[in-house]
Amino acid sequence: MTLVDDIVIKRLGRAEYAPTVDAMRAFTRTRGEATPDELWLLEHAPVYTLGQGAASVSVANGIPVVQTDRGGEVTYHGPGQVIVYALVDLARRGIKVKEFVRRLEQSVIDLLDGRGERRAGAPGVYVDGAKIAALGVRVVRGRSYHGLALNVDMDLSPFNAIDPCGYPGLRVTQMRDLGLPFDDQRLVASIARQLDA
């Protein structure tokens, strides 16, 4: 555990999806007015997750499909993808939900040295039309959990079994294929800057 500005940073390594979501819910439910915000950095074993806007999907590759309470559609998580769960008291920081999503997107755009971009009506970060980062949050009583998933150095083929984020034919990419190095400390610092903006 480390501290960046007033945010607790936890690097959890490889973590199972369902227990991690349960832990985020418990943290959000029990945190107090003075509880520091936390960023959890981790990766998941292969899993598809269905956000609140997603229709059910059927896949033939044996990867589990899990319904969850974040916003958004269907996405894939797997080794080599960096997940940042942002447990942030938005009310205390005076940040509205749409602005929070924009700030998370901007933290990735900054990490990509300006190569990333937004797409109107489709949260996330894109490079040359291919999605590199997916976002989905849940806010309860002004406090967020879930967050962003950044494709760093992973097997992208499981995305072929779904319509990523509900968009048929949406291409995905990753930092390795773009020749961009990944530094989790830069990403954390970028998110912290956005939260303090």
Tens of pLDDT, residues 162-196: 988 788 888 999 999 999 999 999 999 999 999 98
Q: Look at strands 65-67 and 47-50 and give their pairing.
A: parallel
pLDDT of residue 26: 97
Instruction: Write down the mean pLDDT value for the chain.
Output: 94
Please report, for the domain that includes residue 186, its CATH number: 3.30.930.10
Tokens 């991690």 correspond to what residue?
20
The answer to whether the CB of 144 falls within 8 A of the CB of 7 is no
Could you list the active site residues? Answer: 165
pLDDT of residue 144: 98
For the whole model, what pTM was predicted? Answer: 0.95
pLDDT of residue 57: 87
pLDDT of residue 171: 95
Measured CA angle at 140 (ends 137, 146), to 5 deg: 25
Q: Mean pLDDT, to the nearest integer, of 50-65?
A: 90
Count of structural domains within the chain? 1
Is pLDDT at 54 greater than 70 in this prediction? yes
Q: Mean pLDDT, to the nearest integer, of 59-74?
A: 92
Q: Point out the least confidently predicted range of 1-10, 34-43, 188-197.
A: 1-10
Is pLDDT at 4 greater than 70 in this prediction? no
Is pLDDT at 3 greater than 80 in this prediction? no
Is pLDDT at 2 greater than 80 in this prediction? no
Tokens (6 digits) for 149: 């998933």
Task: Please give the residue range of the domain that contains residue 153.
Answer: 2-196
The answer to whether the CB of 138 falls within 8 A of the CB of 146 is yes
Is pLDDT at 121 greater than 80 in this prediction? yes
pLDDT of residue 164: 85
Q: Mean pLDDT, to the nearest integer, of 107-133?
A: 93
Tens of pLDDT, residues 20-30: 999 999 999 99
Tokens 């830069």 correspond to what residue?
186
